[in-house]
Chain A
Amino acid sequence: KNQVEQSPQSLIILEGKNCTLQCNYTVSPFSNLRWYKQDTGRGPVSLTIMTFSENTKSNGRYTATLDADTKQSSLHITASQLSDSASYICVVPFSGYALNFGKGTSLLVTP
């Protein structure tokens, strides 16, 4: 069964601290993995797309890693800011067009 599982479900951190979000998937065959950020009341916005051959990809303070052998990905946020408060969604395609969405990790950054 194609699944995407994320952890933790929610996370609260202090401004300026780092955090890491996890994503495990069982989707096969695997082509790529995406991380989206969804602010409250808005649609998801793509942060990064990682293909099979990529282990690490950075986008500003966001760094995603991928281990295709263990089928795990992580999203590391450095020096968190209040604007990082959002839901972070891991997405893995399971066909040419369809996407499998995780339930997301809700991150709250507090002053």
Chain B
Amino acid sequence: GAGVSQSPSNKVTEKGKDVELRCDPISGHTALYWYRQSLGQGLEFLIYFQGNSAPDKSGLPSDRFSAERTGGSVSTLTIQRTQQEDSAVYLCASRRNRESSTDTQYFGPGTRLTVL
């Protein structure tokens, strides 16, 4: 299909390990977002990309979190030295046009991260 895809769908890791989450946005979408959804909580904004640059990293909870986007397409979210409180579903979304405030964000299925 032509939707947003994320991998892996599930990731179980041990505390202290690094993890990498991947997002493939819809082809042609210039804007890409990462969110975190903890159990019973609303979506929490992490970072926004316009093309390969990240004008807003304000949502990253700590310096253990980083993200990059290459070729204006695939993005990876890296969490170093994972902690149990990092356990959540990490959602990626893409949007065609940054300038249009009514443009829809299309979400991927998410990666469920469990830190033991």
**Chain A: residues with CB nearer than 8 A to chain B?**
4, 31-32, 34, 41-46, 49, 51, 89, 93, 96-99, 101-104
- Given A96-B99, A98-B45, A103-B40, A43-B4 contact (CB < 8 Å): yes
Give chain B's interface residue range (CB within 8 Å of chain A): 20 to 34
* Cβ of A20 to closest chain B Cβ, rounded Å: 20
What mask results when residues 46 to 60 of chain B are scored 1 for a CB within 8 Å of chain A, else 0?
001010000010000
* Cβ of A91 to closest chain B Cβ, rounded Å: 8
- Given A41-B109, A42-B110, A43-B109, A96-B98 contact (CB < 8 Å): yes
| 8 Å CB contact of B107 from A44, A49, A103, A104 | A44
CA A34 to CA B101, docked complex, whole Å: 11
**Residues of chain A contacted by B25 (CB below 8 angstroms):** none
Q: Is the CB of B101 within 8 A of A96?
A: yes
Q: Is the CB of A89 within 8 A of B56?
A: no
CA A98 to CA B31, docked complex, whole Å: 11
CA A101 to CA B46, docked complex, whole Å: 13
Q: Is the CB of A104 within 8 A of B91?
A: no
Q: Is the CB of B108 within 8 A of A43?
A: yes
Q: Is the CB of A99 within 8 A of B45?
A: yes
The residue of chain A having its C-beta at the shortest distance from the C-beta of B104 within the complex is: A46
